[in-house]
Structure 1
């Protein structure tokens, strides 16, 4: 057990039954629940109120971002007389593992230099599509101290307030950006080796995956711009495999067949290494080969996302959210 108080912030938009399940999974462990809605039209606000959650509705005049929504939920939690010790952030398309809040709070109680605690997120329907399967594999990472985690996290309320919360201008990988600042403040980001949330990606179309990959590329660029030491390898891979090698392939096709063959050989070697790496991580050959195709292709939408960020910054445009479902 823990004597610390735990509250939760849920963010969502048109999550429907997934939100209802999310709210139900927290009953009995969270002392307060705040749901932040970003323009839903499906009755999500009414469902949250019916479940006993406090509701914050974001002003549509300002572009929606997950960071902005989470900050609004946090502000609502700390506006009362008894702010919680710890805050669990979770997306409305997830449900919490029973007992997670208690386990996470106990870990924070016992380890003062941990600022963020997280666990394993799993996909509810990993067999529904290769895209869902990729999400499920992506989220199951080694436990222990980590550089960053996703938006499902428990954070110390005082630390979150001290750092000013999430950066509302960051439209993708805002969780990574916050984790970087937590570590710079001398606190650890730690993953427990236990289930935390169950996610419903509901990603069944190539177009959804493509948009998600564009969003990731935007995050690589924006967070890398704010913190140059973060996402270094990711940005290098995108530029190499999404821009430099395709350019060399075009030059080779026009002027030099050996150059073209060299580029194709590099792509082949890279693909084979990806397949081998996924197999070493536990995937069967067919699944590893299938997912590697999309990991190979992802560099192109990633490049679009990187380019979109720099174009927006150069022209002074708003960093509007990139939705994929």
Structure 2
């Protein structure tokens, strides 16, 4: 065991059929962390076997039980604790990401000094944003303002005692498990911090409109699921996000058409609110992208995304009423 391997830190990597991306991921992780658990969810590309050659602890998920990223991370986290190492922090990372070489040192020092923080995350960038519009959109999505945050994405360093205090991730959520975890942490007065430090490269490999649409459906499903779980917990951000989807897709067009029929066609002018919202979003995005084309694309797809998100919300409600089993919505 060497000092540069950060003996106080363990890592949980999750993946399925990531191929060369997993090789990059594990290489970047074991270069900084000695105790690593890889959780595989039914790969048939030799991922578990490759991970085993690196001396990584392997967890093969029982795929007869409904899969979720939250469940995979929980099983990896539990195995990490069972290894009996004296760990204080855990790095969660997906198999399609490559960890920055300086990240663990910085993140560990931050949590060591800032005892009120449960999680620290950093800058995540797309590996190939130029390959498609949808990769480019992801690259913008990853950009978060530096400072205290309400939530984080799936790549972050966390304090083990904090994760244990809320019993880890919600295994039943098919997406959005990280914001849901952060919400429960904040309820226990833990803080979340987003740094301006480069954390990792991500490879979305999202090349087609169909993939983007499914991902947006999954996002809407996750919003509604979290809203259902925390209806009485005063999650104002979540309430606004959920209501916003219904407003732009149903409420506004319904009343515009209804009033135009009942009173005057002039009420159709209220639909210009879409244009106003697009311009506002464009101006906001332009502030940090400094690119007119990129800002317009992001604003346009952000507006368009409300419709697949609505489908995701309706899907959750339908399955809840029918008491149907939830299943993951895959877009890759």
Matched residue, 1:269: 276
Match runs of 1:111-130 below 5 Å: 111-130=114-133
Aligned counterpart in structure 2 of residue 40 of structure 1, from 35, 43, 57: 43
Specify the SS of the correspondent of 1:195: strand
Match of residue 144 from structure 1: 147
1:55 Cα deviation after fit: 0.9
Residues 156-203 of structure 1, C-alpha deviation per residue, up to 9 Å, x if partnerless?
A: 112212211001011111000000111111111111210111000001
Tell me the residue number matched to 1:28.
31
Note if contact 1:243-1:303 (Cα within 8 Å) is conserved in structure 2. Answer: no
Which residue matches 1:69? 72
CA 1:28–1:316: 2 relative to 1, 3 Å: same
Q: What is the alpha-carbon root mean square deviation over aligned residues?
A: 1.7
Greater mean deviation of Cα atoms: 278-287 or 193-202: 278-287
Rounded to whole Å, the distance in 2 between the matches of 1:239 and 1:45 is: 43
Tell me if the contact between 1:77 and 1:83 (Cα under 8 Å) persists in the aligned partners: no
> What does residue 324 of structure 1 align with?
331
Q: In structure 2, do the counterparts of structure 1 residues 283 and 213 end up closer, same or farther at CA, with 3 Å as the change threshold?
A: farther
Partners of 2:7 and 2:35 within 8 A in 1: no
Alignment deviations for residues 5-29 of structure 1 (CA, whole Å, 9 cap, x no partner) = 1110011111110001000001232
1:251-290 → structure 2 map (5 Å cutoff): 251=258, 256-263=264-271, 265-290=272-297
Runs of 4+ in 1 over 6 A off after TM superposition: none
Match of 1:54 in 2: 57
CA distance in structure 2 between the partners assigned to 1:232 and 1:132 by the alignment: 28
Q: What residue ranges of structure 1 are gaps of 5+ in the alignment? A: none
The whole-number CA distance in structure 2 between the counterparts of 1:323 and 1:8 is 24
Which of 237, 241, 245 is matched with 2:244 structurally?
Answer: 237
Q: Does residue 181 of the first structure (1) align with residue 196 of the second (2)?
A: no
> Unmatched 5+ residue regions in structure 2?
none
Q: Secondary structure at the match of 2:298?
A: helix
Name which of structure 1's ranges 129-138 and 247-256 shifts more when overlaid on structure 2.
247-256
Does the 8 Å contact 1:34/1:76 carry over to 2?
yes
Is the Cα–Cα contact under 8 Å of residues 140 and 298 in structure 2 kept in the other structure? Answer: no
Size of the alignment, in residue pairs?
Answer: 324
Question: Is residue 102 of structure 2 the alignment partner of residue 99 of structure 1?
Answer: yes
Is the Cα contact below 8 Å between 2:73 and 2:169 reproduced in 1? yes
- The Cα shift of 1:299 comes to 0.3
CA positional deviation for 1:90: 0.4
